[in-house]
Amino acid sequence: MGTEDIKLKAGDYVVYPTHGVGLVKAIEEQTIGEAKLKMVVVHFEQDKMVLRVPTHKVASSGMRKLSSKDIMKSALTTLKGRARVKRTMWSRRAQEYEAKINSGDPVSIAEVVRDLHTRVGQAEQSYSERQLYEAALDRLSRELAAVEGVEPEQATTKIEKTLEAA
């Protein structure tokens, strides 16, 4: 399964699980050794990074098109739920949160945002909790912004208002 199945073209936004939202700059051929490979060139503005993924590896890499408005709506609904914090050691929870963030699934990322969001009157977060929260919030904001065609800051504000209203 390659880009032929996903139908990517220059100008499309995609989500790469470990890097978030990127913009397809081109689909180009590159010669590596004796082989000619068709590559998807993705630019990640927030990381100032360019990633080249062979078209035949797009699906197995987890790269996907942006979520639909319905999926993003579901992610925002997830934010309104009650935080579910397991009573396991922080290191184990941190691994689970990291896995959810890197899954690229907006609903899973929203769960991390919801669970790590500190409300007024709660104890302060540790540095690592804050880092994970900010990574999840950033990832969710960027996809929401791309789906809704707004700036990431506007998407962050919408997410934060949703959390406060919960």
Task: Please state the pTM of the whole predicted model.
Answer: 0.86
> Cα separation of 108 and 128, whole Å?
19
Q: How many residues does the chain have?
A: 166
Residue 122, pLDDT score: 67
Residue 162, pLDDT score: 94
For 69-165, which CATH class?
mainly alpha
Domain boundaries, the chain: 3-65, 69-165
Start-to-end CA span in the chain (Å): 41
Report the chain's mean pLDDT, rounded to a whole number: 90
Contact 143, 67 (CB under 8 A): yes
Q: In this prediction, what percent of the chain has a pLDDT beyond 70?
A: 94
Residue 44, pLDDT score: 93
Mean predicted confidence (pLDDT) in 134-157: 95
Cβ contacts of residue 39 below 8 Å, gap of 6+? 27, 28, 29, 30, 52, 53, 54, 55
Cβ contacts of residue 12 below 8 Å, gap of 6+? 23, 24, 65
> How many C-beta atoms surround the C-beta of residue 165 within 10 A?
8
- CATH tag for 3-65 (out of 3.20.20.70, 3.30.9.10, 3.40.50.300, 2.40.10.170): 2.40.10.170
Residue pLDDT, tens place only, 97-120 = 999 999 999 999 999 999 999 765
Domains 3-65 and 69-165 share a fold: no
For the cut 70, the answer to whether the pLDDT of residue 143 exceeds it is yes
> Cα separation of 135 and 106, whole Å?
13
Residue 4, pLDDT score: 46
